[in-house]
Chains A and B, each alone.
Chain A
Amino acid sequence: MIIKLCRIDDRLIHGQVATVWAKAANAGRIIVCSDEVMNDTIRKTLVLQVAPPGIKVNVVDIEKAIRVYNNPKYARDTVFFLFTCPQDVLRMIEGGIPIKSVNIGGMSFKDGKKQITKAVSVDDSDKETFRKLDELGVELEIRPVVNDVKVNIMDKI
């Protein structure tokens, strides 16, 4: 598979993703990589329902995402990987997927998280994971919309 874009956004496919990022990524397929969403019927149904026109959407767990990436059948397919959290990105990379850059769109505020930008909140585990990703040389840029300026998350945590 040819990776066109990787984004962390726990709202998954919403306005910004459906209209702007799907177009910018110019990928034939959006794959939501998340064990959690895979096992959540409502979230899964919604994601499939709001697929942007002309783009295939799949929801798979991380293990399957790695298998699919390596399947020669999809070698020439272009893909937009969508994640809910950095931990899943790290699992993919540790599974051998060559992710070089991650766009951080939205990580919602929950108890125990600290808000670092309008759309991004992190806890200790997230920070730790971003540090590991940074050490692996992965670009980690916060950018809600394509035209916004990239902000390196490492400057914020």
Chain B
Amino acid sequence: MKIILASHGQLAKELINSAEMICGKQEEVSIIEFIPGEDLCKLKQKFSECMDDSAESLIITDVFGGTPYNVAAGIALQNEHCLTIAGASLPMLLDVFMLRCEENISIQELANRILSNSTQYVRSCQELSYLSESEEL
């Protein structure tokens, strides 16, 4: 399963670099950077260059409703092998990379798991500080 990470500016590249610090080198990852001054045409072209119509692709974009998302959503709505989600973050990306390793996981199942796990990506230290040992040994 291919992962395409699309962002405003260089966030996508650096998110991948950071994720690889934690879970090692990743295969089948592409990045798309939306650079100031680029138009929609150019951005669409970047997407089509890294899409492979026959392979399953998950496009992850930074901001819901931003240009990378809007272009990606247009592609995903016309391509049954492709899904788009928004809200890229390091915890999300780690989750994606780990879930992708699971045997026979479909792209739809992966996207569903990401959505349901997403509330766990933001945590508060104070809220958790009441926690004690899982279970005394």
Contact = CB atoms under 8 A, between A and B. Distances in A.
Residue among A15, A64, A74 with max Cβ neighbours from chain B (10 Å): A15
Contact of A20 (B22, B128, B131, B136): B22
* Chain B interface category by residue count: 10 to 19
Nearest to B101: A23
B129 A145 contact: no
Interface string A116-151: 000000000000000000000000000001111000
A60 B22 contact: no
A59 interface: yes
A19 to B, nearest CB: 5
Contacts, number: 50
Give the most central of B94, B125, B133: most A CB within 10 Å.
B133
Contact of B133 (A59, A71, A145): A59
A116 to B, nearest CB: 20
A97 interface: no
B137 A51 contact: no
A45 interface: yes
B22 A48 contact: no
Given A56-B135, A58-B137, A23 B21 contact: no
B27 to A, nearest CB: 10
Contact of A49 (B23, B25, B120, B128): B128
A3 interface: no
Contacts of A107: none
A143 to B, nearest CB: 10
Taking residues whose C-beta sits less than 8 angstroms from the other chain, chain A's interface range is 20 to 34
B133 A147 contact: no
B94 to A, nearest CB: 5
A16 B133 contact: no
Given A19-B94, A20-B98, A145 B24 contact: yes
A18 to B, nearest CB: 9
A52 to B, nearest CB: 10
A74 B129 CA distance: 28
B137 A68 contact: yes
Contacts of A27: none
12 contacts: A23-B98, A29-B134, A31-B137, A48-B132, A49-B128, A49-B129, A51-B134, A57-B133, A57-B134, A58-B137, A145-B22, A147-B25
Interface of A: 15-16, 19-20, 23, 29, 31, 45, 48-49, 51, 53, 56-60, 64, 68, 71, 74, 145-148
Interface of B: 21-25, 94, 98, 120, 125, 128-129, 131-137
Given A45-B131, A146-B24, 18 more contacts: A15-B22, A16-B22, A16-B23, A19-B94, A29-B134, A48-B133, A48-B134, A49-B128, A51-B134, A57-B133, A58-B134, A58-B135, A59-B133, A64-B137, A68-B137, A71-B137, A145-B23, A145-B24
